[in-house]
Amino acid sequence: MVLKFCANLSFMFTETTDNLLERYQLASQAGFKAVEFTFPYQYPIEDVVKAKSAANVDQILINAYPGDTERGELGLAIMSGRRDEFRESLEKAMEYATALNCNKYCLNLSNFDNRNILSR
């Protein structure tokens, strides 16, 4: 069996740059052929696609939009009263996935440790 590895740009190369887009090139230079990351949504789709293409790597996974991470949200799927926002987050994830030619995304349910979020 041959194992294939990808660089998780959310966690790798952070000692070099805070910019997620710059990490595409760093991953390529380190020999990775594929990448994944959690939340690219602070960057315009066009910029993400440009960085991926310039680095000549495959995007194999992204996470669905998490909601407001500043408030501790890590997913909208089970949050009461947030159905429309959850649907919009899926649409946003699909836009990014399609533009990046990525056919897998991770759907985070929520941050279970913060019970206050569930009742908002």
**For the chain (length 120 residues), average pLDDT per consecutive 10?**
91 95 98 92 95 98 81 76 84 93 81 50
Residue 89 CA to residue 80 CA, distance in Å, equals 15
- Show the domains of the chain with their CATH numbers: 7-118 (3.20.20.150)
pLDDT of residue 117: 46
Residue 105: partners with Cβ closer than 8 Å, 6 or more residues away: 61, 62, 63, 64, 93, 94, 97
Asked whether 104 and 60 are in contact (CB, 8 A), the reply is yes
Tell me, what DSSP letter sits at residue 13? S
Q: Which two tokens stand for residue 12?
A: 């790798």
Residue 21: partners with Cβ closer than 8 Å, 6 or more residues away: 43, 47, 48, 51
CA–centroid distance for 102 within its chain: 11
